[in-house]
A and B are shown apart, each in its own frame.
Chain A
């Protein structure tokens, strides 16, 4: 692999590793694919930072367009972004999606070499964050971000603060509680061992010491570590509802009380070992459940797509304003490539809006003066002036998130909570029956010990553990295959789904493998002419086409003109040449299709470059495997690909085209009202509403670091084929949980046999609990692996 890399190195860009075009840039005997990559190299070599290239081959990323950073001069926005500010120093944390290797860490932690006003910078690699402390008197925030941009590490500053959201995702208190519980369990076990082995006569003096020590340790175990169980039980009882925490809280209370009584009255050693062990294991299970992926965010909404500020025009002067402060009537100044943050009316300029965020349709839409442009549209041509008619929070697109119908209304009860009710009822019946029996026998001591023992022994601890252990084992199988599920609860939802809805563009088709097709006739000479023209444009389509043309020389051109987003024209060797959108063509062409880049050389129509998206490989087999489910396709696109979909899907699949985001959402809602559990697969912001509404929303992406809308799981495009296996494994997972529940009941029956007789010795309880726990944990782990192998996932 390594050797391969080295031999290939001279055909790759030294900075970013892209294939070198035939005309390449050259500096200090290194080759570069574009001016951007070369510029980064020059900055780094001027600052003596070339080690960047030592740790990894081609560590850089291709340079992107410059962005407008004027808003970073606004004090209000600066204050919003900074973590900390003191006299002359400030600290800020940025999320930088481009961080991907050790070279990135090295370079970003040596920022002080580029600018001495930067004191230090520290990277958190998994979170892709860098924390920079700098002297804000010497370097402004804007300059700092510009410095990062120059070396190819553009921070992502969006309305939804990714940095601050991440930091709150881990429950710190839980980890501390686990530490305390572990400490308590270890010590209590130590002091309980003498009791297990039996104490000889002269050691009896220690019995009460150990008893009191154990009792002391039980207090924090019950009331600090186990506190959440009590609060959760009380709230659920207030709502006349029993969840799994209710019996757990009861057991913790009973264990503690009985330990306290036995120690205080000197009647026995108590159950401190069982209590602390139980609390420790329960907290471990809880931690497994909370664990989530550092580097993936599942709760993104429109705010992470929106910039933090927008340029407004105030008395003809440009002024950056934070998006939250945009009011109705404000004039917005939207440049090429910028996003319209609020519904607005076009006042000035020529608008070619890329509405793919909203509709999924990627061809730009032409808007005329006075027309409403919805939030989420991206301007692709010249700068335009807009007047806001709705604040950001009430725009058409953001309305998707403010919809009240979201699934909170649907009762989400997992297996545990539904079983907990019957479980608690059964335990109480047995406990009261045993107490009643011993009371009738006039043995009040045995009645009390039988009552407490039944409750202790019938601990649904296994129930609380088997679910997180099984499901987190399944999660780790999934994530090795490129399927990242939000949490363990979501896996249960996945298993219940019976209806699957697919989006078309980007989900069934792949954006990465799009191929460039030329329809028409073009000579090699003309190819060079076209490439020479397109070379001057930064439009992604132009770059794609140049790559596809792969010519070895360029001509110089004159009279170059570009209407951003629409087309280019220039004169080459006396020939006038035009490339761009159909509506801009100097000649009338009847046969050509709407989309694509059309070429006209010397007033003769040559043809058109079109991007054809490719269907993801293995699609047909996957659909075949999914035939047990109700399938549906909702596409925002036109029905030009209908014949293809008809060939893949069976006849009873509903296929709808030209679906707006709201229609997609309504379709999901309708199915849910019909009692279906809906899984939605989508990729863009236009599917976001449906993804959120569905019982299990999967966002498809070709690059896991790309932005994905809020969802329950993120699936790599290449792993789509495994979808039927993923669903099957999640169903098997529920089977495992139910089986382990049966095993636990068997253990409980043994325990209850002793308990009802009032003869449960603490040692039996202390041994029974770990044995049943170990059995369950090993059973769930092994069974999950077995099922995963059966489904060919490992």
Chain B
């Protein structure tokens, strides 16, 4: 059962790592804007650029 001492230490350490990760993410502003990135990821730069070129010439 002494293994429990080790496991308890591990679990607390893991939890601390996650907590630290959250602190880091929050302090570097990753949660400041949770709306725009969702829209931004839908823009596809490369393909879109070609397409507009075609539009441009055909019109």
Contacts and interface: CB of A to CB of B under 8 A. Distances in A.
Given A48-B49, A126-B35, A179-B26, A187 B40 contact: no
A51 B48 contact: yes
B1 A180 contact: no
Which of the listed residues B4, B11, B36, B53 has the most CB atoms from chain A within 10 Å of its own CB?
B36
A733 to B, nearest CB: 28
A105 B36 contact: yes
B39 A190 contact: no
Interface in B14-56: 15-16, 18-19, 22-23, 26, 31-33, 35-36, 39-40, 42-43, 48-49, 51-53, 55-56
Q: Name the prevailing secondary structure of the B interface residues.
A: helix
Contacts, number: 69
A125 B33 CA distance: 8
B15 A45 contact: no
Contact of B40 (A28, A105, A126, A213): A105
B43 A186 contact: no
A186 B18 CA distance: 13
Contact of A105 (B39, B48, B53): B39
A655 B18 CA distance: 63
Contact of B55 (A50, A55, A123, A190): A50
A651 interface: no
B15 A186 contact: yes
A48 B39 contact: no
Contacts of B4: 206
A50 B56 contact: yes
B35 A54 contact: no
Contacts of B23: 176, 179
Nearest to B36: A125
B43 A106 contact: yes
A572 B22 CA distance: 72
Contacts of B26: 172, 175-176, 179
A537 B21 CA distance: 59
A416 to B, nearest CB: 29
Contact of A202 (B1, B5, B56): B1
A342 to B, nearest CB: 37
Contact of A102 (B5, B42, B56): B42
Nearest to A49: B52
Contacts of A369: none
Interface string A94-127: 0000000010011001000000000000011111
A124 B32 contact: yes
A125 B52 contact: no
B53 to A, nearest CB: 7
Contact of B52 (A54, A191, A209): A54
A51 B56 CA distance: 11
A48 B36 contact: no
Contact of A180 (B19, B40, B43): B19
30 contacts: A29-B59, A48-B49, A48-B56, A50-B55, A51-B49, A51-B52, A54-B48, A54-B51, A54-B52, A102-B42, A105-B43, A124-B32, A124-B33, A124-B36, A125-B35, A125-B36, A126-B35, A175-B26, A179-B19, A179-B22, A179-B26, A187-B11, A187-B15, A191-B8, A202-B1, A203-B1, A205-B1, A209-B5, A209-B8, A213-B12
Interface of A: 28-29, 45, 48-51, 54-55, 102, 105-106, 109, 123-127, 172, 175-176, 179-180, 183, 186-187, 190-191, 202-203, 205-206, 209, 213
